[in-house]
Amino acid sequence: MRKVLRCLLLTLMTLCFSLPALGAAEAATVALLPLINNVAGDELAGQIYYKEAINALKSKKGFVLVENDALTAAIEAAKVGNAVPTQAALAKIAKDGDVDIVFALQLDELSKRERQLPGERIAKLNLQGKAVAYNRLNGAFYEHKLKSDKEIDVSLTARWDWKHEEFGRAVRQEIDRALRAK
């Protein structure tokens, strides 16, 4: 009888200790600031920025994109101009908007230039910008310059928008890096 009681008590204690571990962890909230587009006449870049950033966040577990009135008011109060916000401004946006991570991207140059070489035509990408993020949970500030000067044969870019495709890839890469920043 004693052995049965001990077994029952041990089982009950095991269940009680393991219950807190069964609860789901809360997801980190992420705010995307609007793209700071310094490229004249390129409205498509903003659409690609949001599309790729949202898809990158969806593919990551534990992160939720947030958009609400308090966050919009915090972004407008920061008065972001033609340059990415500073660490202090991002921290203020995170605090006032009640989000865990704030991400901003600045696009300074996005162009494709073709040149003729003997026997082939080469397209060269010129992508320049800057990405910043602030993580309120651990106080980490992420800052990275975007720069790409890839070259590809022009015939491979004839049926798709290569420069915007590369920009989208850079956005996904920067979101991934910013979420892993410590």
In angstroms, the CA 91 to CA 87 distance is: 6
**pLDDT tens-digit series, residues 23-38:** 556 778 899 999 999 9
pLDDT band at 20 (very low <50, low <70, confident <90, very high): low
pLDDT computed for residue 9 by the predictor? 67
pLDDT computed for residue 25 by the predictor? 60
